[in-house]
A and B are shown apart, each in its own frame.
Chain A
Amino acid sequence: MNNNNHRRTILACIDGSTYRESVTDYASWVAQKLSAPLKLLHNIEHRETPPLMDLSGSIGLGSREELLEELTSMEERRSKILLEQGKLMLQSAHQRAISMGSSTPETLQRHGSLEETLVEMEEEIRVLVVGVRGEEHEHQEKQLGAHLESLIRAMHRPVLVVNRPFEQPPQRIMIAYDGNEASRKALDMVSLSPLYRGLTCHIVHVSDSADIPSAQLEEAAATLQDAGLDVVSTSLHGNVQPQLEQYCRENNIELIVMGAFGQSRIRELLFGSVTQRMLINSKIPLLLLR
């Protein structure tokens, strides 16, 4: 990887959901593995829901000025509360990151939509860590956070999607490999990054019909072996997502690595996206490589 990477940060998105602690934990783990700086971000979304509903439909002298004054003071109050809440969250995340062993985590608060904020910051991001659901959809299983998919599509950086509490540093990871462009790129990135050094890596290929040539899978395994990983490679038959799920359970996998949204949009429209299904159903954190 290039030298720019040393200045790039691991960015953890903190919000009011229960995932914020595990997001902090995983981000600290990644930051330490990559010896990259850790940054904790709290983003304040300004919701468009109007706080004021006066249906009288009449306007008189000075209505415009009054209306502006009224809207401003209402939003001011709401924003102040959000700012304060965000600061508290960042503070506790900061402490947690330090207790996890991060030396100098930075904290940051921004206004605006999360996608916009992240796209603006993309240059300085090395890995983005987010919870699978935000505070709005926290308790709705089988549903993704409001931003998650558009965010992953908008970013050109690895995104670690956190969906369970951090217990211990992952030892066994699985790479979902289907031989296409996105997954080959993902493989290259894994072989080059210090994040995966010393881990056991399962390369799993699932197909519903024909096998990919075993030579291809072996080649992939060799690449990773050369990079210093313990490699197990497997070929499975059946539906991609359930097969991968099952494999993870049976082999105690702790992190899934995969290329994200590698198929064409048309295929996705017809058959749905594997990435999306994995995001919804996986019980294990996913590292999506773009």
Chain B
Amino acid sequence: MLFHSTRQQWLGNIRADLLAGIVVALALIPEAIAFSIIAGVDPKVGLYASFCIAVIISIVGGRPGMISAATGAMALLMVTLVKEHGLEYLLAATLLTGVLQIAAGYLKLGNLMSFVSRSVVTGFVNALAILIFMAQLPELTNVTWHVYAMTAAGLGIIYLFPLLPVIGKAIPSPLICIVVLTGVALLIGLDIRTVGDMGQLPDTLPIFLWPEVPLNLDTLMIVLPYSVSLAVVGLLESMMTATIVDDLTDTPSDKNRECKGQGIANIGAGLLGGMAGCAMIGQSVINIKSGGRGRLSTLTAGALLIIMVVFLGPWLSLIPMAALVAVMIMVSIGTFSWQSITDLKKHPISTNIVMMATVVVVVATHNLAYGVLVGVLLASLFFANKVSHFMYVTSTLDDQANTRTYRVVGQVFFNSADKFNACFDFREALDKVIIDLSRAHFWDISAVSALDKVVIKFRRDGADVQLIGLNDATSTIVDRFGVFDKPEEIDKVLGGH
């Protein structure tokens, strides 16, 4: 069984996987270079990372057909570490990131993704697109008009070339863009910035090297905060990309295996002189669009990338930055969820606030983890608020006995506790108060203490208080979650509805 599906994942789609892998490899090269520049390291660091991560994840990942490599989200987190401590510390941080991610995989933290709501995912994706775009701006400020013209021409080629019949859909347009712009720049002899100006390109295959950092507590304290951020953001983006690929291909993935896989891939990258990376939304979409579905597509992309880079090294350095910027702008546009803008009108305001808050926090902090944290918290608060509406109290008065019976229906918890209190009329002079709780659900201690308060208040006013159905109501706060696994137990607890 297992063997069969492994074979299917590798060899189920050979031709299309190979072709898609080539398309992705061509698009990965400019991205890896661009992200290295964001992180402030030589392009070879990003290229080696993309090679290692893509190749390793194709074997150990949990989502066939997803592309992982050096990414912008991760690069943004490394900037200060590289600036203050240098490349060797980045490699150490990459190793530690991998270890943390493997631990997360074994702790099954991938399951926590269920707390990340759809609007947070949308916010994350949009924020990522904005960050990738903003990272291109330094290349577009304080430059001559040639750069603007080149970038515009590049975007024109990328988006108009696919419209051509036959060849439009057979040759990747980002490749045409890069080749044409490089050719033009060489022919006219334009004096604009090229990839070669940005740092060292790889001239050999990557070699194994242990990061040259002192192995002591100081190093750990420097590296750890970055590694935690990198591990969290890497897993978040990978899990979200996996969900997107799941949706597109209508196939399931193993999220916890993917967590561990990302960790192994990062350790591999760290040991071969690459920076930390994760899954890439834009590239994965390109892969699926090109027909890639299996593990072979990711492997092809990684392997081909290093082959092309090593053999075409001298040519790579001639690529004008403007061509790279054009490709990256395409990636950011493609990553952005256009639908989320049109959905703003349709969706409830709380959903929109969650999405926007995620975007704003990420753009302000340049850390996607903070954005997701804020988004998840906001979404939970909104949810609690919504559920608190599902509570009401009715009452009937028995004139002869001067007794009022309150019937509580719905969810009583921290957020609805005040509302619960406000439902009782303490000024009414009564001999006896009956509170019927058989259709109420008490979720936490706040709810119980709210009930205590009500009872005490009535007693102080001289009324006898009788509680009905207390057992049903309080059984809901029992923290023995085991019973909630069985539908009939849930029916018993929530039977009031």
- Give the interface of A toward B (CB within 8 A): 46, 48-50, 52-65, 67-68, 71-72, 75, 113, 115, 119, 150, 153-154
Residue of B19, B247, B285, B294 touching A59 (CB-CB under 8 A) = B285
- The segment out of B165-173, B253-261, B304-312 that lies at the interface is B165-173
Determine if B286 and A57 form an interchain contact, defined as CB atoms under 8 angstroms apart: yes
Q: Contacts A57-B26, A57-B286 hold; do A49 and B13 have CB atoms under 8 A apart?
A: yes
How many Å from the CB of B174 to the closest CB on chain A?
A: 5
> Does B452 reach chain A (CB closer than 8 Å)?
no
Interface check B199, CB cutoff 8 A: no
On whether A150 and B4 interact (CB within 8 A), knowing A48-B294, A59-B289, the answer reads yes
> In the complex, are the beta carbons of B336 and A56 less than 8 A apart?
no
A57, A150, A153, A154: residue with the most chain B Cβ atoms closer than 10 Å: A57
Contact A56 B161 (CB under 8 A): yes
Which chain B residues (115-173) contact chain A, with CB distance < 8 Å? 158-159, 161-162, 168-173
Decide if A67 touches B172 in the complex (CB within 8 Å). Answer: no
Q: By the criterion CB–CB under 8 Å, are A52 and B162 in contact? A: no
B466 within 8 A of A: no
List A contacts of B13 (CB < 8 A).
48-50
Q: Are B162 and A58 in contact (CB under 8 A)?
A: yes
Asked if B8 is at the interface of the complex by the 8 Å CB criterion, the answer is: yes
Bound-state Cα–Cα, A119 to B20, Å: 34
Interface check B476, CB cutoff 8 A: no
Contact at A56–B168, with CB atoms within 8 Å? yes
Q: Could you tell me if A63 and B290 are in contact, using CB atoms closer than 8 angstroms?
A: no
CB pair B4 A64 closer than 8 Å: no
A-B residue pairs, 6 tightest by C-beta: A59-B334, A57-B172, A56-B162, A62-B338, A53-B291, A50-B291
B339–A62 CB distance below 8 A: yes
B244 adjacent to A64 (CB under 8 Å):
yes
The smallest C-beta distance from A47 to any residue of chain B, in angstroms, reads 8
Contact yes or no, A55 B337, CB < 8 A: no
Residue of B nearest to A47 (CB): B12
Kindly state the separation between the CA atoms of A71 and B19 in the bound complex, as whole angstroms: 18
- The answer to whether B248 and A60 touch across the interface, beta carbons within 8 angstroms, is no
Residue B430 interfacial (CB < 8 Å): no
Chain A nearest CB from B475 CB (Å) reads 34
Chain B residues, CB < 8 A from A60: 159, 330, 333-334
Cα–Cα, bound, A52→B251 (Å): 16
Q: Whole-angstrom distance between the alpha carbons of A59 and B339 in the complex? A: 14
The answer to whether A48 touches B8 (Cβ under 8 A) is yes
Contact at B27–A64, with CB atoms within 8 Å?
no
Asked whether, in the complex, the Cβ of A59 is within 8 Å of the Cβ of B282, the reply is yes
Residue contact B285 to A50, C-beta cutoff 8 Å: no
Could you tell me the distance between the alpha carbons of A49 and B292 in the complex, rounded to whole angstroms?
Answer: 9
| In-complex Cβ contact of B170 among A55, A59, A71 (8 A) | A55
In the bound assembly, the distance between CA atoms of A265 and B226 in angstroms comes to: 48
Query: A61: which B residues are within 8 A, CB to CB?
Result: 333-334, 336, 338
Q: Does B485 contact A (CB under 8 A)?
A: no
Cα-based distance from A59 to B247 in the complex (angstroms): 17
Contacts of A72 in B (CB 8 A): 250
Sampled A-B contacts (24; CB under 8 Å): A48-B249, A48-B251, A48-B294, A49-B13, A50-B13, A50-B292, A50-B293, A52-B291, A53-B291, A54-B162, A55-B290, A57-B172, A58-B174, A58-B286, A59-B330, A59-B334, A61-B334, A64-B337, A67-B248, A68-B248, A75-B250, A113-B5, A150-B4, A153-B1
Q: Roughly how many angstroms separate A49 CA and B159 CA in the complex, as a whole number?
A: 27
In the complex the two chains form, is A46's CB within 8 Å of B291's CB?
A: no
> Which residues on the A side are within 8 Å of B292 (C-beta)?
50
The answer to whether A53 and B288 have CB atoms under 8 Å apart is no
- Distance in Å: Cβ of A180 to nearest Cβ of chain B: 24
On whether the beta carbons of B289 and A154 are closer than 8 Å, the reply is no
Task: Evaluate contact between A59 and B331: CB separation under 8 angstroms.
Answer: yes
CB distance from A136 to the nearest CB of B (A): 13
List the A side residues contacting B477 at CB < 8 Å.
Answer: none
A56 to B19, CA, bound (A): 11
By a CB distance below 8 angstroms, the chain B residues around A67 are 248, 285, 288-289
Q: Is the CB of A52 within 8 A of B4?
A: no
B16 CB within 8 Å of chain A: yes
A64 to B175, CA, bound (A): 21
CB contact between A58 and one of B24, B158, B170, B288 (< 8 Å): that residue: B158
